[in-house]
Structure formats: structure tokens, C-alpha cells
Amino acid sequence: MKQRRVRILVAKPGLDGHDRGAKVVARALRDAGFDVIYTGLHQTPEMIVESAIQEDVDIIGLSILSGVHLTIFPEVLRLLKEKKAGHIKIFGGGVIPPGDVKLLKEMGIMEIFPPGTSTDRIVQFIKEHFQKK
């Protein structure tokens, strides 16, 4: 029986219009064999959660450069729990201060990848945490 591929939704929440990094990560994950859905720019937390549920994803990747990470990440987590989809995990990337990274991880965000992180490291992280051995 063929194993189901890990499904990842990559989203760009808020008003930040810089999505090159999100597109690079989405392509790297796709090239590594994951099913990837990229939602595009200016997504609300509600839109992200609805898309994640409709697409039956395992993971949401959020790219945030606008400084609203302490608002967006908790809201996505809250909505996932509210919609009985708390099993969907979240990772993120962007310009996020180290102290805030610690807070986000305490909230339940799996990992934060700062600017300059290699796509190989992101792919490896997903493989280690989501693919069955």
C-alpha cells in the first residue's frame, strides 16, 4: 500500500507583500516530494485555516515579515482548535526576534526558520517530524 505524502499549506498572512521566501520554500518542499499548496498573498487567519482544512493538510507554513507574528500565529492556532483541526501543525519563517521565537514555540509552533535558513534544513526538519521511518 502506498504511503500518503505529507501535505503542506504555505501561506503569507497579513498585509506583507514580500512572498519570494515563501515561494522558494514552497518549491523546495514540492521538489522534495511533499504535496504543497501555496495560498498567495494577504491571507487572513480564517482563510488559512479554512484552506488547510479543505486541503486536508498535515502542516501549515506561515511566512511573516511584517512583525505581526505574535498576533497571527496564536490566532491560527486558536482557529485550528476551534474547528477541531488542532492536529494540523505549524512552522514559520520570517524576521522574528529570538525572544519571540521562544514564545511561539511555547504556544505550540513547531519551528521558526529565520532568514538565511537553507531550504535543505527546512526539508530535513519536515522529513524528521512527519515521514514514517
Residue 33 pLDDT > 80: yes
Instruction: Write down the pLDDT at residue 17.
Output: 81
Domain with residue 70: its CATH number is 3.40.50.280
**Considering the domain boundaries, does residue 19 fall inside one?**
yes
**Considering the domain boundaries, does residue 119 fall inside one?**
yes
Residue 127 pLDDT > 70: yes
Kindly state the average pLDDT of the residues 39-67: 96
**Considering the domain boundaries, does residue 2 fall inside one?**
no
Residue 94 pLDDT > 80: yes
Q: How far is CA 73 from CA 49, 58, 66, 82, 102, in A?
A: 11, 16, 13, 14, 13
**Considering the domain boundaries, does residue 77 fall inside one?**
yes
Cα torsion 97, 98, 103, 104: sign: positive
* Residue 67 lies in domain: 7-128
Instruction: Write down the pLDDT at residue 132.
Output: 57
CA atoms of 75 and 53, how far apart (whole Å): 15
The number of distinct structural domains making up the chain is: 1
CA atoms of 54 and 66, how far apart (whole Å): 27
Residue 59 pLDDT > 50: yes
Kindly state the average pLDDT of the residues 122-132: 89
- Band (58; pLDDT cuts 50, 70, 90): very high
Instruction: Write down the pLDDT at residue 133.
Output: 39
pTM here? 0.94
